[in-house]
Structure 1
Amino acid sequence: MKDLSGLMKQAQAMQQKLADAQARIAEIVIEGTAGGGMVTVTLSGAGELTKVVLDESLVEPGEGEVIADLIVAAHADAKRKLDAKQAQLMQEAAGPMAGMVGGLPGMKF
């Protein structure tokens, strides 16, 4: 029984660490860029697009398709960075039990 009690304490500690990591993820703000910085997008930790900044040189007639493509590319850049940061935080929180976390319902990275 003593081993079971210790295991339960470890599981509770891991659960708290994971909850803390998820709270930190919610606070993340990530920027992605495209076109050499001509388009910058900002994502929240949940992956929501919260801001788009366009270089004024893009705001000319006939540039709509270029702008749209650059926004999509900047979003993809930011999403890739966000996914990496989320995975890092969850890995740090899981510590030695990281291999088990991927199989737990509701725990993703």
Structure 2
Amino acid sequence: MLGNMSKILGQLQGLQQQLKELTVEGTAGDGLVKVMMNGQQNILAVRFDPDRTPATAPEVLGQMLVEAYHQAQLESKAKARDEFSKVTGLNISNLPGIF
């Protein structure tokens, strides 16, 4: 049993590294705003289309940034759940708040 636990812990540590290296992107405003995030939900970059940004009101840009962040976060969480399921063999898709 203890050997099994150390194997699972090793797998979970590997999963943490995989999630750190995984990259997802959320967009809003038809690509005007992009948020890049890793599988640990850390923001890696925020990009704005420089040709279209000056014509967009700051409030609208702020709303688009929030929308792009949420889109990236949802995708990151979904990929983290998938990777966790692959590593552990457990289906956690119905457990809220895990990823």
The one of 49, 55, 59 aligned to 2:54: 59
Greater C-alpha Rg: 1
Q: TM-score, normalised by structure 1?
A: 0.73
Q: Are the counterparts in 2 of residues 22 and 90 from structure 1 also a CA contact under 8 Å?
A: no
1:47 aligned counterpart, secondary structure:
coil
Q: TM-score, normalised by structure 2?
A: 0.80
The one of 53, 76, 81 aligned to 2:70: 76
2:11 and 2:45 map into 1 onto residues whose CA distance is: 30
Percent identity between the two aligned chains:
25
Q: Are the counterparts in 1 of residues 25 and 72 from structure 2 also a CA contact under 8 Å?
A: yes
Displacement over 4 Å in runs of 4+: none
Higher relative helix content = 1
- Deviations along 1:30-76, one digit per CA (max 9) or x if unpaired, are 1111112121111133322221111221223x611111100100000
The one of 9, 28, 31 aligned to 2:3: 9
Q: Which residue number corresponds to residue 28 of structure 1? A: 22
1:19 and 1:68 map into 2 onto residues whose CA distance is: 36
Aligned length: 92
Question: Quick check: 1:50 aligned with 2:44?
Answer: yes
Say what the alpha-carbon RMSD is for the aligned residues: 1.8
Q: Are the counterparts in 1 of residues 39 and 79 from structure 2 also a CA contact under 8 Å?
A: no
The gaps in structure 1 that reach 5 residues or longer are 1-6, 100-107
2:46 and 2:5 map into 1 onto residues whose CA distance is: 41
The gaps in structure 2 that reach 5 residues or longer are 92-97
How far residue 28 of structure 1 moved from its aligned partner, in angstroms, is 1.5
